[in-house]
Each structure stands twice: as C-alpha cells, then as structure tokens.
Amino acid sequence: MRSGQWYDCLTPAYESLRAAARAACHAHGTLPPEARGSMAPELRSLFAEVGAGVFIEAPFHCSYGVNVSLGPGVYLNAGCTLLDSAMITIGGGTMCGPGVQIYTADHHRDAARRAQGIERGLPVVIGRNVWIGGGAIVLPGVTIGEGAIIGAGSVVTRDVESGARVAGNPERAIGGSASQ
C-alpha cells in the first residue's frame, strides 16, 4: 500500500484495517466533546504520529489511519476526510477548514482492474502552517509547501509552492503570497 505500486485493496487484511479505522472514527464522533478531548483515544492510537496540541472536530473519517502523520498544533475542522492508502503528512500548525478532503488512493484506469479493487497510493505532504479552506480537495501525490493558502472549495491537482495562494478548480495562483 505504501510502496506506490498497484495492489488489491479488497483483501481481508485491508478490510480489517478499514474496520479498525471505522470503529475509531465512530468512537471519536460519538463521544461527548468533554470526554473526547482533542480526539478519541482510539483515533490517537491508530495514527502513525500525532504531535502535541492536535485537535480533530467530529465528524471525521479516515480509511486506515495508520498512514496519517499530524504535526503539533494541527487542526482539522468538522467533516474532514483523509483517504490514507498512502502516507498523509500534515505539518505542524496547519489548519483545515470544514469538509476538507485529502485523497491518496489512485484507482486503476482499466475498468475491469478497477472493479477488482486494484489501486495504488500516492502520498500527500502538507507543509507547516498551511491553511486549507473549507470544502477543498487535495488529490493523490500532491505536495503543498509551508505557509501556503488553499482557497475554500479548491481542487488541488498539482504541487503548491511554499507561501503560494491558490484557489479554483483546478487550483491556480491568486494575487500575492501567503505572507501578505
């Protein structure tokens, strides 16, 4: 799964990992906020890495969880979805608005192979102090540089440079740098 090679995502081993992630996401979403804290313990233990001060609003969904690394102070607003067939690395201080979706699964182009569950995972790397506006979608294999701003509703199809501001579908540069 993490190798970037094509694999069969419908095997019992992958289904077991997805079931554990669904259970952890359910635990997170059904605990009262005061009992949940920044995230349900089941969710925290699922992730590859969780920095100090990470906060995830409910509802939240991930495919596996084991391929998610969250730096210190990451904030994921309500309704975020991380489809982590490959690593999703989110740098410290990054904020994701409500309904942000980050995808790593890339399904086979051949319909018959796709129906057999053949896919590959392409990692997504998001630098430190990035702001991703609500409803944005980040596609497989994308890297977003430190301090970038992604406009609400954008579809990020390619790498974004550090400090850049992008918006639209597909994303395109908009006036000025993120530091302005």
Residue-wise pLDDT tens digits, 36-70: 889 999 999 999 999 999 999 999 999 999 999 99
Determine, yes or no, domain membership for 137.
yes
Determine, yes or no, domain membership for 178.
no
Residue-wise pLDDT tens digits, 65-119: 999 999 999 999 999 999 999 999 999 999 999 999 999 999 999 999 999 999 9
**Residues annotated as part of the active site:** 107
Phi, psi dihedrals of residue 102, rounded to the nearest 5°: -120, 120
Please state the domain count of the chain: 1
The pLDDT of residue 176 is 64
Determine, yes or no, domain membership for 179.
no
Determine, yes or no, domain membership for 1.
no
Determine, yes or no, domain membership for 41.
yes
15 φψ region: left (φ > 0), alpha (ψ -120 to 50), beta (else): alpha
Closest CA to 96 of 132, 141, 48: 132
Domain that holds residue 86: 7-173
CATH number of 108's domain? 2.160.10.10
Determine, yes or no, domain membership for 116.
yes
